[in-house]
Homo-oligomer: A and B are copies of this chain.
C-alpha cells in the first residue's frame, strides 16, 4: 500500500524527464528492470532526477570504497532505520556483487552488536575519551 502511484513504462513514456531517467537507469545497470522505488519517485520528476544523479555519484561511480563495501554500509543503515524495502533491495544488490552467505551472516552480527553497544553507551551517558580526539 503506497501513498503515491507507481509509474508504468507507458506512464513514463509520456514524460521526457521520467523516460530519460528510466533509460539511464537501464543503460547504467545494463538491465531492463526498473524497481518500484524509481516508479514511485517519478511522481516528482525533479526529485527523481536529483536522487538518481546523487546515487550514481555515490554508489556507482568509482570511489574510495569498493562496490560491495558500499552495499554493506547501505544495508547497515537500512536495518538500523528499519526500512524493509531498502534492506531487501540492497541485500539483493550485495548478493549480485558477490556477497556470500558467510559475509551476510557476519554483517548481521556486526549490525546487531553495534546496535547493542550503542544502547549500552547511551544508557550509561559516557562521553568520548580524549584519546579519540582528531588532530
Contacts and interface: CB of A to CB of B under 8 A. Distances in A.
B125 A87 contact: yes
A123 to B, nearest CB: 4
Interface residues of A, number: 83
Interface string A114-125: 111111111111
Nearest to A49: B57
B3 A118 contact: no
Interface in A95-126: 100-126
Q: Which 5 A-B pairs have the closest CB atoms?
A: A44-B105, A77-B114, A116-B116, A64-B102, A88-B128
23 contacts: A1-B88, A1-B134, A2-B125, A4-B134, A36-B127, A40-B126, A44-B109, A47-B105, A54-B113, A55-B117, A59-B113, A64-B102, A65-B107, A74-B114, A79-B123, A82-B83, A82-B122, A86-B118, A89-B129, A89-B132, A91-B132, A112-B117, A115-B119
